[in-house]
Structure 1
Amino acid sequence: MARFLKGVRYSLNRLITKLAGFNMKNPVIAASGTFGYGHDYEQYYDPSILGGISSKGLTLNPKPGNKGIRLWETPSGLLNSIGLENPGIRAFAREVYKMSEIDTMVIVNLGGDNLEEYIEGASILNDSPIDMIELNISCPNVKAGGMAFGMQCDSAALITREIKKVTKHPLMVKLSPNAPNVADVGVACAESGADALSLVNTFQGMAIDIKTKKAVFENTYAGLSGPAIKPIALRMVHQTVKAVSIPVVGLGGISSWQDALEFIMAGATAVQIGTGNFPNPNLGKEIVRGLQKYCEKNGIINIDEIRGII
């Protein structure tokens, strides 16, 4: 745990954040699918500046990803249909040491097509030098007609309980905003042993190409992220924080330190930066510095003083 604070001057760092037993340098985490495995942004800044990095989504078996158009820009947002393209858990496990060389919290985002794949993937990760698993329950359960595990409280509770039985790592469950009531799903996960929650994942959206008179994406629907979803994500984070007693990591449309501060004031223990990394690859660094300067200017000894003030 101490390694996350390497080189930090305790008297000056007002952003030290506790998350599921870890002392993070700051509450800023690079979100899954937007930061690779940590080294992709080294040409812009040292990724160890961040409080944590969540890996690209991984599944037990390799996935080639979706065919056709994968990204489509919308006003103040981005639709994506990547399809969890990844080399598989076993291949990642052989390379994870490169990611763990970065002096920050290493989080692995884990997905799967059914409960058995999640369990086996989590078990393989037990021998990897990672710090936390982020369980992506927005994945479709192919054995249950394709409905995502996170859409209903009972299925979310089931997968959380089963992964907690096998994993040696703290478990953060990433919630889908497409559930009928995301706060209720969060409660179900918390009661089933989750150490933390992260929300929100992308909203389901659609785009049509009027020239071809067809849906842009081969799967018709895709995930919407970016500034357009921020007010809704903020509301969902606030509601979930009020409903559970475990840490909540907020994400959804954060593109400035001011946005990040809103989520923290709404009660988020930490925040994740996703789509905002694409137009501004220095965003993570800028948010860390912006939060630090805000605390200094306002005489805040530690950012925990304003966490959840709303």
Structure 2
Amino acid sequence: MDMRLNLPGLPDFSFRNPILTASGTFGYGLEFAPYGDLTTLGGIVVKGLSLAPRAGNPMPRIAETPCGMLNAVGLQNSGVESFLRDKLPKLPWRDVPVIANIYACDPAEFAELASILAREQGIAAIEVNISCPNVKEGGILFGQDAQAAARVTEAVKRVAGDKPVIIKLSPNVTDIATIARAVEDAGADMISCINTLSGMGVDIRTRKPLLANIIGGLSGPAIKPVALRCVWQVCRAVTVPVIGIGGITSAEDVLEFMLVGAHAVQVGTANFLRPDFSFRLVNEFTELLNKLGIADLEDYRGSLRT
């Protein structure tokens, strides 16, 4: 079955299938090559990149929770130049879209990062993480303010050239549809959602938080209902393609996100449980489509009966 996704508004861009990996859960992609064929994936979203190397937060920065995990890794990465020099050339970017996820603290820095990546043939698209501290605006998150989210989107879009710009939305907002409309109006080519939910854990014996950072991001199956709700609301609010993220652990989960309107999905926490999970999911998804007699994904997408 041909599962290639041709995306509205992006005639020169497509995914081989709707199964992508989520930033921060698949390393730079190379780490998972021993567990499957990277070229069978719909796309590889690498871990968040910053202009300069980042050491991340102090340990401990990962904690298990019922049906999920908390993390406060702090966007540890080797910096964009190191990635382009040492990692990207080893990835099969000619055969599978490699998507760079970027992190910065103000629109100008986001633009500087995007301009570097826009010149790279091996980068298929740029995903912008707007769930980070906006230092110049009192420490709020870009993703929690529609105007701030739009400013970042405009700054990246101005320098991205022919690279599609994906804006990754935070669920930690009152109305995610408002943020989605703001970034679409500012030029976003795609939207991915959701990022992690804010959470924390504590140890009643040591009386200490489970994370050194105290608060972290909750991910895994526990957040799937929230993610589905957000994707459904965003798909009803915008016309650009939407990529669903949050708690995907089965082929049925992928279809659920497509049923509410997503064009594709990103697999995150499940990669920690089984490093071969995303590769297996591609095959399991094909088997499920055949079992259910679904021959046209576009006809199925967004067909929820309400």
Q: What range describes the TM-score normalised by the shorter chain of this pair?
A: over 0.9
Given that 2:111 and 2:159 are in contact with CA atoms closer than 8 Å, whether structure 1 keeps it comes out as yes
Aligned residues: 298
In structure 2, C-alpha distance between the alignment counterparts of 1:212 and 1:256, rounded to whole Å: 36
Q: Which moved more, 1:163-172 or 1:279-288?
A: 279-288
In structure 2, C-alpha distance between the alignment counterparts of 1:55 and 1:282, rounded to whole Å: 16
**Equivalent of residue 118 in structure 1, options 110, 113, 117:** 110
1:90 matched to which residue of 2?
A: 81
For residues 64-87 of structure 1, the C-alpha deviation after alignment (integer angstroms, 9 at most, x for no partner) is 000020100000010000000001
**Equivalent of residue 207 in structure 2, options 205, 210, 213:** 213
Given that 1:58 and 1:109 are in contact with CA atoms closer than 8 Å, whether structure 2 keeps it comes out as yes
1:140 matched to which residue of 2?
A: 133
1:3 matched to which residue of 2?
A: none
**Equivalent of residue 181 in structure 2, options 181, 187, 195:** 187
1:36 matched to which residue of 2?
A: 27
State the Cα RMSD in Å: 1.3
Q: Which moved more, 1:98-107 or 1:65-74?
A: 98-107
Displacement of 1:305 after TM fit? Answer: 1.7
Unaligned 5+ residue runs, structure 1? 1-11
Given that 1:225 and 1:275 are in contact with CA atoms closer than 8 Å, whether structure 2 keeps it comes out as yes
Given that 2:171 and 2:196 are in contact with CA atoms closer than 8 Å, whether structure 1 keeps it comes out as yes
1:253 matched to which residue of 2?
A: 247
**Equivalent of residue 280 in structure 1, options 266, 269, 274:** 274
Given that 2:169 and 2:180 are in contact with CA atoms closer than 8 Å, whether structure 1 keeps it comes out as yes
Amino acid of the residue matched to residue 118 of structure 2? Answer: N
Going from structure 1 to structure 2, the CA distance change for 1:102 and 1:45 (only over 3 Å counts) comes to farther
Displacement of 1:100 after TM fit? Answer: 4.2
TM-score, normalized by length of structure 2? 0.94
In structure 2, C-alpha distance between the alignment counterparts of 1:23 and 1:125, rounded to whole Å: 19
Amino acid of the residue matched to residue 129 of structure 2? Answer: N
**Equivalent of residue 95 in structure 2, options 96, 103, 107:** 103
Amino acid of the residue matched to residue 231 of structure 1? Answer: P
- 1:240 and 2:250 aligned: no
TM-score, normalized by length of structure 1? 0.93
Amino acid of the residue matched to residue 5 of structure 2? Answer: T
Going from structure 1 to structure 2, the CA distance change for 1:102 and 1:279 (only over 3 Å counts) comes to farther
Amino acid of the residue matched to residue 246 of structure 2? Answer: G
Going from structure 1 to structure 2, the CA distance change for 1:161 and 1:305 (only over 3 Å counts) comes to same
**Fraction of identical pairs, as percent:** 45
2:5 matched to which residue of 1?
A: 17
Q: Which moved more, 1:281-290 or 1:162-171?
A: 281-290
Amino acid of the residue matched to residue 226 of structure 1? Answer: G
For residues 34-56 of structure 1, the C-alpha deviation after alignment (integer angstroms, 9 at most, x for no partner) is 11122211221111110001010
**Equivalent of residue 79 in structure 1, options 42, 60, 70:** 70
Displacement of 1:295 after TM fit? Answer: 2.3
2:155 matched to which residue of 1?
A: 162
Q: Which moved more, 1:117-126 or 1:297-306?
A: 297-306
Unaligned 5+ residue runs, structure 2? none
Displacement of 1:283 after TM fit? Answer: 1.7
Displacement of 1:101 after TM fit? Answer: 4.2
Given that 2:38 and 2:92 are in contact with CA atoms closer than 8 Å, whether structure 1 keeps it comes out as no
2:124 matched to which residue of 1?
A: 131
Aligned to 1:29, the other structure's residue is in SS state strand
In structure 2, C-alpha distance between the alignment counterparts of 1:124 and 1:69, rounded to whole Å: 33
Q: Please list every run of at least 4 consecutive aligned residues from structure 1 whose deviation after the TM superposition is greater than 4 angstroms.
A: none
In structure 2, C-alpha distance between the alignment counterparts of 1:261 and 1:178, rounded to whole Å: 24
In structure 2, C-alpha distance between the alignment counterparts of 1:213 and 1:101, rounded to whole Å: 47
Amino acid of the residue matched to residue 74 of structure 1? Answer: T
Aligned to 1:173, the other structure's residue is in SS state strand
In structure 1, C-alpha distance between the alignment counterparts of 2:169 and 2:277, rounded to whole Å: 24
